[in-house]
Amino acid sequence: MSQIIAITLPKWGLEMSEGTVTAWHLAEGQSAEKGAELVDIETDKIVNSVELDQSGTLRRILVPEGEVAPVGALIAVMAEPAVNEAAIELFIAEYKPVDASFEPSEQGAEAAVAAPEPVAGATPPAGADLRATPLAKRVAEQSGVDLATVAGSGHRGKVTRDDVARASAPARSIEDIRAENATIHASPIARKFAGEVGLGLAGIAGSGRKGRVSLADAEAAAIRAGLWSRPAKPARGAGPAAAMPAETGSEQPFTGMRKSIARALAASKQNVPHFYTTVDLRIDALMDLRKGMNGSGGAKISVNDFLIRACGMALTEHPGVNVHVSENGVTLFERADISVAVAIDGGLITPVLRDAGQRGLRDIAGAAADLAARARARALTAEELKGGTFTLSNLGMFGVREFDAIINPPQGAILAVGGPRREAVEGPDGAVLFATMISATLSADHRAIDGALAAQFLATLRGLIEDPMRLLS
């Protein structure tokens, strides 16, 4: 025996992936003949011995008695006494064990949920019947695409709906589509929508009077053509149940917190003359900035943190919105102390983030996260709940598009923010672009705040959100 022999943990049968070394029959330095028992290995099913398949000297035991090792692991090394220690060390260091584990692949986490890749290199044979899915044929007909010009990505080069959509999109300019749509019998709103998403209305069977194409028809066609998807709607309750008897239900008495919410908000809604102004904010730049900042370490910054910071700055610029209102008059504040609404089990709590106009984003993010966590743990002090000058309420994470909030007296205004949505917008050269938008609605107390002031405040807010580098200053 001139070379070094690896003794590995054996695989005995289908189920075995590891074993416990229960007894070594040789000590390091001892020799034995072929067929001698070297080591006992135990699994939860069996105990068995490894026999030497050639004579030799045991030089190194790597897994002591009582320890578990996976199948294929190096558990000992045999070599002639002439082989020096350094060679054995090197052998051990360089030994690559077999991976006999039963664990599935750790790769492909993303691929697993992605759509299957088109079969590569599959193109339809020339001159053969055009292979296209029935859906693709219909969409091609509707969008005026010649199937013969479309490369198929389906099985054996079959043309799919997506292939047709791709083929139809860049073929004609948006102006061409709009010009053609102008000649189609369609409702104005349907035509406007079609122009926005780049949908040709020709060939769509209209469901309206005299075959007029309605918005619903156009939306359905745009979905089929892969040009548009319906924005997520806020969750709804179950639909009306026809002819079912009324349910009795069971009354849950108000908790203390719900009682105080009920009292304060009922008073506000009854006594405070609310008015509402809504603005759409494009947040693509903000999202990019946030991604960059969150990628660089430090406390994670949420969209809401950006909003807190922007409100703080806008309030500093428009102190007329940063007010408390009473029956007798208005109190203006220099500092923007923003109440941030946090939903918790059984209600709502609004801890105050002080001086939001002057604090940096990471500072705000840390403070907001701390307040929210302690709000959920009900560990806030009374001091932290008092003295807000303005409230920010964000239901975006629940899929809400926009909503009107009730002012939290004695504050003069509250901003209600919905969730992001993708919207088709017209780009600088007339092309259709997709933008990420959120809507923000300011509820203001008309006794102290006029419409123009509300609008100016929102314009400032919009400027900050859409040019988010300004939030870093």
Give catalytic residue positions: 446
In DSSP notation, 290-320 reads HHHHHHT-SS---HHHHHHHHHHHHHHH-TT
Q: Which of 98, 111, 76, 90 is nearest to 6 (CA)?
A: 76
19 lies in the site for another protein, by CB under 8 A: no
102 lies in the site for another protein, by CB under 8 A: yes
CB of 427 vs another protein, minimal distance in Å: 23
15 lies in the site for another protein, by CB under 8 A: yes
Element (H, E) at 219: helix 215-224
Output the furthest CA–CA distance in the chain (Å, rounded). Answer: 106
94 lies in the site for another protein, by CB under 8 A: no
CB of 193 vs another protein, minimal distance in Å: 21
CB of 347 vs another protein, minimal distance in Å: 16
Binding residue for another protein (CB under 8 A) from 152, 200, 320, 396?
396
Query: Residue 12: helix, strand or coil by DSSP?
Result: coil
Q: In one letter, which amino acid is 105? A: S
CB of 13 vs another protein, minimal distance in Å: 3
Residues 268-327 that bind another protein (CB under 8 A): none
How far the first Cα of the chain sits from its last, in Å, is: 75
Contacts with another protein, 114-133, as mask; x by CB under 8 A: -----x--------------
CB of 230 vs another protein, minimal distance in Å: 12
Q: In one letter, which amino acid is 25? A: H
Stretch of 15-23, 240-248, 322-330, 359-367 lying at the interface with another protein (CB under 8 A) = 15-23
CB 428 within 8 A of CB 418: no
State how far the Cα of 415 lies from the Cα of 281, in Å rounded to an integer. Answer: 13
152 lies in the site for another protein, by CB under 8 A: no
Q: Which of 338, 330, 362 is nearest to 417 (CA)?
A: 338
Q: Which is nearer to another protein, 269 or 422 (CB)?
A: 422
Burial 437-449 (b: 16+ CB within 10 A, else e): bbbbbbbbbeebb
Contacts with another protein, 408-447, as mask; x by CB under 8 A: -----------xxx--------------------------
Q: For binding to another protein (CB under 8 A), which residues are involved? A: 8-17, 43-46, 48, 50, 53, 71-72, 97-100, 102-110, 112-113, 119, 155-156, 232, 235-239, 396, 399, 419-421
